[in-house]
Structure 1
């Protein structure tokens, strides 16, 4: 089933190669089916989750729905797929967002539609593959598969500065990938473990002495993943990429592409070298809280609506970094509090994966009608397009962390779990939250309130396509804000396992 979820989009991409480029409706239909099937399969697996056996094999311990096939046995590379709570939550998010992105692209992307949709399906294969693989080399293959289609999706269908944004994204990610690969190969050679299986490598690398080379390997992995998150100060590619990317690609970039980095941290860097993660937790915490405060200030200074939302993504992912650092520090002495921090941090990534795509979609709805993202040129939209304005207000309140919506839960639990590790320094994150709330309120005042502008009179309000995209994700934002237990239950076993590993690393 996991193999189908990964490769069905690729199969449909190959089929679409033989469809004439003039048959745009057929191409969109095939792309929609090719991304919808993985979502249906993921829902089937979700219905079987509780009853699914948990593997006890060393190459997939604690994982469900495992596939294990030899691949390059001479160096210990295997086609090993499996998911735990960390991976499966991201897989559900990914398979949900890709069909919505295809629908958002319909009648929005009108040039080279065939090429665009094929690249989108290849991107789905890469992202889904990252979340299910348990072998580092296979992980690296899927990680690099993501890079190329995203480069072209921004560089061809983006805005005026699309080439600059695409090259900047490509260079940042390529450098990060190369550094990450060097770190992993060093651990493979040093331990002599003879396999690139992530779980079997972790059993050996977690016992390595804390020396200069293990520290180098940890930060090589961490930097590679931090660029993708993106973590301050590696975030500068993201605002440019978002501003130039078409709206459906911004939805995917914020909703799922950034999660590749956060997922890789809990799957690879911290389980492989928990002794280093614990030793340098304070340093990682600093980058986390600065990554909360600085982007909030940067967002407040922006005049471009889309760039403002882009900075908010960096801001929110800072909570994950902060909570992960707290869990690393607390695990050896207080594993229960470490689990609270880790659950809160990972919940932030899931909530952000639902909220941020809708925020970019809301910006896109305004841009399609007004042809501007300049906050000084918008205003009075509640009187012009009331339904779109209400939807934008809803998603803005979710993004600023309003209680009762999903954004609040993760941030609150992250702060609760991080305070015992870092004390009053966590208040820096609180200041970032206040600034974030302030710019959201200012933006809503500038865009939604005031007198209706004459030049925007008669603009059409929300249409059926936009309602279909917005409604299901909005329901999940409310559901998880009121009743987050299903997410916490899904994460519980994985959080406990990682906390135990990090606890051993601090002894």
Structure 2
């Protein structure tokens, strides 16, 4: 099993999808349990990989390599390191919890769970592929199930949101493909192998062109201002479990692309584009914060907050320093956990009240004390309260950006202040004040819903109290990356 462990992690969800597809409609009560069991298997395989993973090793581990398309020198090449492995763990965690959250889906369950498991395969493959054509295939695979999951099981404007998501991300992907082909034809010998591309000496002018092509593909997925407009629509219309995956995993695919491809393969261009990355990061942090502050829709507020929080990842990348890179990676993981929990909590209240208008609530802390406790906890984590994971990641990014530019650090601090405003305003409108008699019979969060958020609470608290453990997984790899691209080492 060890030699093909990564393949098992990627493709085992497809086994569950095939089983569900073959089951008769009379057995539809089993669909959700097969999906959950399959995600438990994926988590167990990920844990097996965790036991074999050596965080002190900077190279790729658990590598699988087989010639796939000989005519183009394309390989089925998988591997993981300190950059990708935390994302694999995050994907397994979020996908398993979202599978439990999917128990509320009652329409066309067979198609839903088949597409859901297909989506997990695409996400895992994206983080583990080391051949750029293989990476591109998995990257595009993610678009198809996500399009249907939003377009069929989404809200009133689901078709519009699904089409907007698909067109934005597909257009960005095509530009990314142009950049990939450019690197292939300018490498000697022609190769799509990431490890071989890193060793190529591309000209500075060529690097800038390819960096820009890759940047658009990755920036749409992050999403970076001004490529962000698909995100609020997709989040608002998507069913709750898909919003959780969208925020918890899919957005990280974009920033992962910078770490995995843009910076190591095109280091001179990355350094040249630093000021522009920092400007877009600062705009995204402040813009996302102000727009979130203006929202009355609970889900849309959390969606816009993602634009602001993901701006910290881009700012950490622009810092080109140990603190900046460490903070960016930690923010990717932390944001996936915290925002995933917030979307689950939005879904809890929407399933009961059938509205996301924050002004329609009030005084729910007395009616739903357990739910209120979870909401306050994750709101404080999102705004960066010391002792929770959001504080550690954003503080490291601020340290890194301060070394690069005090001006951009000031804008980032403004984003933190805005986060405190829109999250505390949300708490005041939803939980505090006079109780609305309309919601006096509203039931509190149930045990199934508690199970989906408690693991995220433990992780948020654990990282906040002892971040060193998670940092130890990617610090060696990031240090090696910084050394290879001429970044600032501690």
Q: TM-score, structure 1 length as denominator?
A: 0.94
Which residue in the other structure is 2:167 paired with?
Answer: 171
Which residue in the other structure is 1:208 paired with?
Answer: 202
The question of 1:279 aligning with 2:272 is answered yes
Contact map agreement 1:193 1:201 (CA 8 A) in 2:
no
Matched residues in 1 for 2:366 and 2:433: separation? 9
Which residue in the other structure is 2:445 paired with?
Answer: 462
Which residue in the other structure is 1:233 paired with?
Answer: 226
Matched residues in 2 for 1:117 and 1:323: separation? 36
Instruction: Render the CA deviation track for 1:429-478: whole Å, top value 9, x for unaligned.
Output: 11111011111111100000011111111211111101111111110000
1:323-342 superposed matches below 5 A: 323-327=316-320, 338-342=321-325
Which residue in the other structure is 1:192 paired with?
Answer: 188
1:8 pairs with one of 5, 8, 12: 12
Contact map agreement 1:225 1:261 (CA 8 A) in 2:
yes
1:288-327 superposed matches below 5 A: 288-327=281-320
1:51 CA drift (Å): 8.8
Secondary structure, in 3 states, of the residue corresponding to 2:393?
helix
Instruction: Render the CA deviation track for 1:105-151: whole Å, top value 9, x for unaligned.
Output: 11x11010000000000000000011111000000010011000000
Matched residues in 1 for 2:40 and 2:484: separation? 36
Matched residues in 2 for 1:145 and 1:315: separation? 27
1:25 CA drift (Å): 2.3
Matched residues in 2 for 1:357 and 1:22: separation? 33
1:21-420 superposed matches below 5 A: 21-50=25-54, 62-106=59-103, 108-204=104-200, 207-211=201-205, 213-327=206-320, 338-420=321-403
1:231 CA drift (Å): 0.9
Which residue in the other structure is 2:24 paired with?
Answer: 20
Which residue in the other structure is 1:485 paired with?
Answer: 468
Instruction: Render the CA deviation track for 1:407-440: whole Å, top value 9, x for unaligned.
Output: 1100000000111111233101111110111111
Matched residues in 2 for 1:414 and 1:485: separation? 15
Matched residues in 1 for 2:183 and 2:96: separation? 38
Matched residues in 1 for 2:25 and 2:77: separation? 36
Matched residues in 1 for 2:143 and 2:42: separation? 21
The question of 1:453 aligning with 2:450 is answered no
Instruction: Render the CA deviation track for 1:6-63: whole Å, top value 9, x for unaligned.
Output: 00001111121110234222111111111111111111221222399x5xxxxxx801
Secondary structure, in 3 states, of the residue corresponding to 1:86?
coil
Higher mean C-alpha displacement, 378-387 vs 240-249: 378-387
Instruction: Render the CA deviation track for 1:47-101: whole Å, top value 9, x for unaligned.
Output: 222399x5xxxxxx80111111111122111111110011100000001111111
Residues 480/388 of structure 1: CA separation in 2 closer, same or farther (3 Å cut): same
1:193 CA drift (Å): 3.1
1:345 CA drift (Å): 1.0
**Structure 1: gaps of 5 or more residues:** 55-60, 328-337
Matched residues in 2 for 1:340 and 1:485: separation? 13
Matched residues in 2 for 1:384 and 1:301: separation? 26
Matched residues in 2 for 1:36 and 1:173: separation? 30
Higher mean C-alpha displacement, 403-412 vs 193-202: 193-202
Matched residues in 2 for 1:479 and 1:90: separation? 17
Contact map agreement 1:85 1:492 (CA 8 A) in 2:
yes
Matched residues in 1 for 2:347 and 2:149: separation? 16
Q: TM-score, structure 2 length as denominator?
A: 0.97
- RMSD across aligned C-alpha pairs, in angstroms? 1.4
The question of 1:424 aligning with 2:407 is answered yes
Contact map agreement 1:21 1:113 (CA 8 A) in 2:
no
Contact map agreement 2:278 2:408 (CA 8 A) in 1:
no
Secondary structure, in 3 states, of the residue corresponding to 1:14?
helix
Contact map agreement 2:55 2:474 (CA 8 A) in 1:
no
Matched residues in 1 for 2:442 and 2:74: separation? 56
Structure 1 stretches of 4+ moved >3 Å: none
Matched residues in 2 for 1:22 and 1:146: separation? 29
Matched residues in 2 for 1:399 and 1:109: separation? 28
1:499 CA drift (Å): 0.5
Matched residues in 1 for 2:324 and 2:24: separation? 52
Matched residues in 1 for 2:28 and 2:464: separation? 39
1:264 CA drift (Å): 1.1
Contact map agreement 2:55 2:473 (CA 8 A) in 1:
no
Contact map agreement 1:89 1:490 (CA 8 A) in 2:
yes
The question of 1:441 aligning with 2:424 is answered yes
Matched residues in 2 for 1:145 and 1:51: separation? 29
